[in-house]
Amino acid sequence: METLKYLVGYPPHVLARVQALIEQGRLGEVLNNKYDQLHAVRTDGQLYDYVQALKERHLRQSVPLGKVLYDSKLQVMKHALGTHTSISRVHGGKLKASREIRIATVFRDAPAEFLKMIAVHELAHLKEAEHDKAFYRLCTHMEPDYHQLEFDMRLYLTHLEAGAR
Ligand SMILES: [Zn+2]
């Protein structure tokens, strides 16, 4: 059985089911049936507005957003979940932080739900650095279906990669 690199850490019976779908050539179909909504967030400006609107709704109190952009150089393999850079500079003893959010370009053409999932993930990092309980609590606060979406997004990346071979 091939390693499913986007699904490392999921239980063996789950992986076996995914593997079976791949072998039957049905993974894409299953995903398409479930996620048939595209989104219209095409440019970095639109992406900024989109992320900012989510932040306004759920995380008004956290640090302001810096840049928000699609990044075609993000390696989906290494950073499947985007990166969240904290740019901190010390000014006369005071720490000033602004937050830059980069989202892999693959999400520009992904179903709407996956863009939302990745945006929620990156926004949650404004408050929680680690992938711990507090972090995922925040994710599910912003998107109740977060865990399912993250899993399905990993399936989506697995499918894209299989198609590209
Ligand atoms: Zn993360």
**Looking at residue 129, which CATH number applies to its domain?**
3.30.2010.10
End-to-end alpha-carbon separation of the chain, Å? 17
Most confident of 3-17, 30-44, 87-101: 30-44
The verdict on residue 10 lying in a domain is no
Distance between Cα 62 and ligand 1 center (Å): 17
The verdict on residue 31 lying in a domain is no
How high is the pLDDT of residue 132? 87
Q: Select the more confidently predicted residue: 77 or 8.
A: 8
The verdict on residue 118 lying in a domain is yes
Confirm if 36 and 111 have CB atoms less than 8 A apart.
yes
Instruction: Examine the pLDDT at 1 and tell me if it is beyond 60.
Output: no
Q: CA–CA separation, 62 vs 18, rounded Å?
A: 38
The verdict on residue 7 lying in a domain is no
What's the whole-model pTM score? 0.86
Collect residues with CB below 5 Å from ion ligand 1: 81
The verdict on residue 97 lying in a domain is yes
Mean pLDDT of the chain: 85
How high is the pLDDT of residue 10? 86
The verdict on residue 66 lying in a domain is yes
Name which of 10-14, 18-22, 82-86 the model is least confident about.
82-86
Q: CA–CA separation, 69 vs 84, rounded Å?
A: 11
Instruction: Examine the pLDDT at 12 and tell me if it is beyond 80.
Output: yes
Tokens describing residue 4: 């499913």
Distance between Cα 88 and ligand 1 center (Å): 18
The verdict on residue 5 lying in a domain is no
The verdict on residue 86 lying in a domain is yes
Percent of residues, the chain, with pLDDT higher than 70: 82
Tokens describing residue 44: 């970095």
Most confident of 31-40, 61-70, 83-92: 31-40
Tokens describing residue 112: 């709407």
- Per residue in 112-134, pLDDT (tens digit) is 999 999 999 989 988 888 888 99
Residue 80 is part of which domain span? 37-164
Number of domains in the chain: 1
Distance between Cα 30 and ligand 1 center (Å): 26
How high is the pLDDT of residue 26? 94
In the predicted model, what is the mean pLDDT of residues 133-144? 95
Distance between Cα 131 and ligand 1 center (Å): 6
